[in-house]
Amino acid sequence: MAGPTVDDLSIEELERLILVRRRQARLAAWNGKALNSKRRRPLAVWEKLLRLAELAVVLALVATFFISGRGWIAIRQQVPLPTDGITFVQPPETSATPALLPADVVVSNVRPAPIIPAQAAEIPTHVQAWISPAPAQPVPAPAAAPPTRIVIPSIGVDAPVAEGTDWESLKYQVGHHPGTAHPGQRGNMVLAAHNDVYGELFRYLPDVPVGEIVTVYATQQAYRYRITERRIILPDQGEVMLPTTGPTLTLISCHPYLIDTHRIVLFGELLE
């Protein structure tokens, strides 16, 4: 005897039948997915190596973009804008000048050679302004002691000054280049410090404005210097450390920050 047909079922029975069939279909689909996932084969060795190679390529591309970005920043920083008030000076091709070693490694401890008048014609034009005779000016009595402290208000520097500019001398302090002038003395007093290690004392030296008053102490005696010029130079442009006829200050550090391909130099003159 044949079972009841769809036509023989009531509406309620049809609805119950539809619900049962839907549950059965969902259960069958779920069981099929579970079975397929169990049958999924493991990755072969060559497939694993291929995925590792793809990951390595992606990491290499990321590293390349990062390095290229740093290089672009370095190029932008090496040539400052005219509004920065910094002069980029190229070294003279034939001028024999003392070497300026990296300020955050070592600045040579060799005493700068004295200026001989007969050699003045051989000195580059941009250096002659620093060694030409200057008008007499009243200055404080020169200090018998070397500098012991420096204060640069605009960048928040208040640091001790040590004698020497070798690696050990520049740890967490500013170094006084041996053989250069003492505070208040006629001549070029050269001070150097790190910009990106050991306290980063001169990290913001490029931000010091022209006209800033820098105070250098010899024990308790204070000597005030006004910043007159900023320059970015190459590491071998040592003429900035040459002696001068007037009482001057030269501050040196590496530039740009964390790249250190050039040097930032600030020049100052002693106030009355």
Q: What is the pLDDT of residues 74-84, one digit of tens each?
A: 554 444 434 44
The single-letter DSSP state of residue 197 is S
- Over 80: is that where the pLDDT of 171 sits? yes
CA distance readout (Å), 58 to 47, 62, 69: 17, 6, 17
Q: Is residue 58 one of the residues assigned to a domain?
A: no
Q: Is residue 206 one of the residues assigned to a domain?
A: yes
Same domain, 95 and 221: yes
209 Rama class: left (phi>0) / alpha (psi -120 to 50) / beta: beta
Number of domains in the chain: 2
Bridge partners of residue 160, in order along the sequence: 149
Q: Is residue 243 one of the residues assigned to a domain?
A: yes
Supply the CATH number for residue 157's domain. 2.40.260.10
E strand or H helix at 216, and its extent?
strand 213-218
Q: How many CB atoms lie within 10 A of CB 42?
A: 7
Same domain, 147 and 227: yes
The DSSP annotation for 238-266 comes to GGGGS--SSEEEEEEEEESTTT-SEEEEE
Q: Look at 13 and 248; give whichever has higher pLDDT.
A: 248
Q: Is residue 128 one of the residues assigned to a domain?
A: no
For the chain, what is the mean pLDDT?
A: 77
Same domain, 35 and 148: no
**CA-closest candidate to residue 176, choices 164, 186, 168:** 164
Query: pLDDT tens digits for 173-217?
Result: 999 999 999 999 999 999 999 998 988 999 999 999 999 999 999
Q: What percent of the chain has pLDDT over 70?
A: 64
What's the token pair of residue 142?
A: 């020169």
Q: Is residue 119 one of the residues assigned to a domain?
A: no
Residues of the domain holding 28? 8-39
Spatial separation of the C-alpha atoms in residues 17 and 9, rounded to whole Å: 10
What's the token pair of residue 179?
A: 């053989």
